[in-house]
Amino acid sequence: MLIAIPDVLTAGQVQETRALIDGAEWIDGNATSGTQSALAKRNRQLPEESDAAKRAGSVILDALAATPLFVAAALPLKVFPPLFNRYEGGEAFGAHVDSAVRIRRGSDFRIRSDLSATLFLEEPDAYDGGELVIDDQFGEQRVKLPAGHMVLYPASSLHHVEPVTRGCRTAAFFWIQSMVRDDGARRTLFELDSGVQAAAAAMGQDDPAVIRLTGVYHNLLRRWAEC
């Protein structure tokens, strides 16, 4: 399932995040690349152990916890602390699939990467190129969102970032281990949850049909979730 999630960060939170990261020291993006990615990746990123990355990442993690659409779509069990990258001057990231397991450097924190996320931190008219291109079951999806908006997609997807030919594309990126490993099951739960919410808005939370559908949702989640 590929889903765009608007307004994860407010304009003020985008400014706060940019104030933390813009003046920090950026390094070669291949510092966190796997073997395949290193062949295709040309960008810069903040060292994951840097104070700026940790502080900015905390802003994003707090915002994610307060974003119901993210919680409903991802059913997150673990979230890898956000990393930050930049592309400019023709930099790009060729076609690749994200590593199945991500390990935080210098710690025992690790996750299975079920979902990948890109949170845009620059307005789309400030740079040319830089589209995130994702191959999914419906074909090629090209994503370039306003600052503060995020796209969530299966980490198993083949994807790439187009060259940035003007300006600078700045974003946060991270991975999620979901309580529900299977993408199809997550999609079913998300669609059911959306239907329950719509029914509740139309008929009321105490309507017998809404109560039954809510029970179906939780019983399916109970069957599929790994906690």
Identity at 98, one-letter amino acid code? D
Low-confidence ranges of the chain (pLDDT < 50): none
Degrees to nearest 5, angle at CA 51 with 49 and 54: 70
Domain spanning 3-178 has what CATH number? Answer: 2.60.120.620
pLDDT at 137: 78
Residue 104 annotated as binding? no
Is 159 marked as a binding-site residue? yes
Helix (H, G, I), strand (E, B) or coil at 147: coil
Is 218 within any annotated ligand binding site? no
Q: What is the mean pLDDT of the chain?
A: 94
- CATH, domain 183-224, list 3.10.450, 3.30.750, 4.10.860, 3.30.160: 4.10.860
Q: What is the pLDDT of residue 38?
A: 58
CA distances from 9 to 17, 55, 61, 102, 121 (A): 9, 15, 10, 24, 9
**Domain-wise residue ranges, the chain:** 3-178, 183-224
pTM of the predicted model, to two decimals?
Answer: 0.93
Residue that the structure tokens 């990948």 belong to: 116
State yes or no: 7 annotated in a binding site: no
